[in-house]
Amino acid sequence: MQRTFVAKNQEMGTSWDREWYVVNADGKRLGRIATEIATILQGKHKPIYTPHVDTGDYVIVINAERIELTGQKWDDKLYQRHTGYIGGLKEMSYRKLIERHPTLPVREAVRRMLPKSNLGRRMLRKLKIYAGPVHPHAAQEPKELEI
């Protein structure tokens, strides 16, 4: 009888057993690119995917400041955070956020698509985002991923 394969943390090995992918975000839509990145970080593109084990690969995003949104989202899309004090809700439009923190919209979009647990936070650590076209991960020999 053939049994279903279930990956275990011990079998996943170390970080150098994983693949590295580089994604050029120039002119791409934020939501479309974030879903593909979240899939790779979780390992859902692999036949050994197991929900409770981190089977995913590393993803490098370059040109994050040049990512696109459709419609009026440049001004209408709001990012909210709370200071923890009464009346401390802070809002910032996408246009202002991309000026101050050009990598944050991509990180937030992907983070919200990952599991809300320790496993999801571990997966997010495999995401490397850079505002410009240069990244310091050439030694890992990342593969170009077209989205």
Q: Is the pLDDT of residue 147 over 90?
A: no
Q: Is the pLDDT of residue 13 over 70?
A: no
The domain limits of the chain are 18-69+101-144
Q: Is residue 32 very low, low, confident or very high in pLDDT (cuts 50, 70, 90)?
A: very high
Q: Cα-flanking dihedrals φ and ψ of residue 144, to 5°? A: -70, 130
User: What's the topology of domain 18-69+101-144?
Assistant: Ribosomal Protein L13p; Chain: A; (3.90.1180)
- Name the residue with higher pLDDT: 11 or 41: 41
Question: CB of 94 within 8 A of CB of 108?
Answer: no
| Model pTM score | 0.92
Q: How far is CA 115 from CA 70, 72, 110, in A?
A: 26, 29, 10
State mean pLDDT over 58-85.
96
Q: Quick one: tokens of 132?
A: 């410009």
